[in-house]
Amino acid sequence: MAAEVIMPRLSDTMEEGRIIKWLKKVGDPVKEGELLLEVETDKADIEVEAFDTGILIEITAEEGETIKVGEKIGLIGSKEEAKGIRKPAAPAEEAHPAKPERPPRAEKAEEEEKPEESAAVEEILEEEAKAEAPEKEKAKRATEEEKRKREEEQRRKKEERKEEERYRREEEERRKEYAEEARRRAEELKEKPRRPEPAVSIHMDQRTAIDKFVARRAPGKATVSPLARELAQKHDIDLSQITGTGPGGEIVKRDIEQAVSAKAKAGPAAKIEVLRKAREVRATPLAVVLAEREGVDLEEVRGTGIDGRIRETDVKAYVARRCNERGEEFQELSLMRKTIARRMTLSKQTIPHFYLNMTIDMDAAVELRKKLNEGKKDEEKISYNDLIVKASALALEEVPEVNSTFVEEKVRVNKRINVGIATATPDGLVVPVIMDANRKSAADIAREARDKAERARKRKLRPDEYSNATFTVSNLGMFGIDHFTAIIDPGQSAILAVGALAQEPVVVDGQVRPKNLMRVTLSCDHRVVDGYVGTQFLIKLRELLEKPETLHAKS
């Protein structure tokens, strides 16, 4: 039975992948473990191996398509299952057309008489066939394109007709409703003539406070009866738009009732107005609605519909051109950018962050780095970030709560200390991971970090090289950033943001001295890490960096 080839999950954050290139064609034999295709993930470009042996009998996702994880992209089957398939046609330059059949005797005679001439003719025929092949292929593609356009145009016309018919039916129904409503109201007026409202009676032989009967109001502001105000709030009526018909211009119940009735009719009336405008400017109703929403004058829009009719797509194209004229441009998100957006939003929505800041004296670390890098080539030197990664790993040994993860009402304590290093690439942020960083020397970390950073920028990391981090270091100090706060990657409980190392004047024993200072900020998940625990981690980190003799050794 044929086995499906599915889009594999190549990282813990991957939700979809884009097919870069198929390394096998339909009809090619495939062995288990053999490279089958290249896939672009949110982190890297990865070669995918086949999980089955057989014949590639179907490719359901072409190069350039983006497919969800777990969805089918191809099919591998047996030789029997592959019998009915056709291999893709060979490129035109490699194609060899079949030779015209001729009677064997005539062929033999020709070969005996003029073998050189026969060979020349065959060569000419082959050359002509090669020259004609691209033209035939081009004509075939043009025919298919014309057919597709015709089908698309027919489908579009059908949709437009359906849309117009729907609006016509709605317009007719609304007109019937209006006529029925008018008839009903006329009948009510005949049956129930309006009675005048009773006047307020004031007895002249008693002293009565006039405020009981006349509502005070600010100049230019109408008063509102309590019942009218309650009714207006219930139906979301803007009182500033209502003209009162009560005593002294007061807004009374009947004014609100009339406003509610008018509001109810506004929806159908608006649709009728849309249809009227659509007929006037030869546009579809959807195009009219979109134009009003975007503030577009339909007189400036060129229609591509039947007889130049303006469609919704025409208005959208006009808006896009207008944006371009304003210097705006809309770009599709890469898979990496989509993943960053999704995970950072998830982090801020689900992880209660709090932040701890600390300033560290880096004088001793500066001297140690100079000593370790003496006589070394640039590509072999240890950076300050390598020392910070090593110090962070040792601090996590002392404060394991920071190396933990909140998982479904439980806390998972990670036994391995895997430190991710945030790395900028042209497509976005990638976090290569130094596995078991606490057991490696600063020199080992430097070599591994440099290699993985270079391959990350080329999208050549393997999934295991950017997965399973338990803690992350994000360093923007080399760009002159003094201090910042970082967002915790979901699945971790903390991230260390490292600022620039700079000389600053510090008072020591009553004297001002220059010191190499560095500011760090620890972002913590408050579900796992409390303020005291986070502080203990930073204190240990500071101790290790201010007395860094142990950082260059393996644990």
The per-residue pLDDT for 267 is 54
Just give the CATH number of 3-88. 2.40.50.100
pLDDT at position 113 is 44
Residue type, 428: G
Question: What's the pLDDT at 64?
Answer: 84
Q: Helix or strand or coil: residue 3?
A: strand
* pTM exceeds 0.85: no
Residue 333 confidence (pLDDT): 80
Catalytic residue among 203, 235, 353, 526: 526
Tell me, what's the pLDDT at 253?
81
Closest CA to 528 of 492, 500, 503, 478: 492
Sign of the C-alpha dihedral computed for residues 310, 312, 315 and 321 taken in this order: negative
Q: What is the CATH number of domain 336-550?
A: 3.30.559.10
What are the tokens at 140?
A: 């075939």
**What whole-number distance in Å separates Cα of residue 356 and Cα of residue 485?**
9
Determine the pLDDT at residue 294. Answer: 80
Buried b vs exposed e over 451-488: b needs ≥16 C-beta within 10 Å?
Answer: ebbebbeebebebebbbebbbbbbbbbeeeeebeebbb
Please enumerate in sequence order all residues whose Cβ is within 8 A of that of 68, keeping only pairs 6 or more positions apart, or say none.
Answer: 7, 15, 16
What's the confidence (pLDDT) of residue 14? 84
526 belongs to the catalytic site: yes
DSSP letter assigned to residue 38: E
* Distance (Å, whole) CA 337 – CA 43: 10
| DSSP per position, 82-116 | TTT--PPPPPGGG--PPPPP--HHHHHHHHHH-HH
> What is the pLDDT at residue 325?
66
Report which secondary-structure segment, H or E, holds 135: helix 115-191
What is the torsional sign of CA 36, 37, 38, 39? negative
pLDDT for 469: 95
| Cβ 382 vs Cβ 555: under 8 Å | no
What is the pLDDT, as a whole number, of residue 347?
Answer: 93
Question: Amino acid letter at 102?
Answer: R
User: What confidence score (pLDDT) does residue 320 get?
Assistant: 82
| Residue-range domain boundaries for the chain | 3-88, 336-550
Q: What is the mean pLDDT of each run of 10 residues along the chain (555 residues)?
A: 85 84 88 88 84 88 88 85 60 45 45 48 55 62 73 72 66 63 62 51 49 46 75 77 77 81 60 58 79 83 82 86 69 82 92 97 95 89 96 97 92 95 90 95 94 90 90 95 95 96 91 95 96 97 94 72
Question: How high is the pLDDT of residue 117?
Answer: 46
- pLDDT of amino acid 463: 84
Q: What residues contact residue 456 under an 8 Å CB cut-off, 6+ apart?
A: 43, 44, 423, 425, 430, 432, 466
* Radius of gyration of the chain, Cα coordinates, nearest whole angstrom: 39
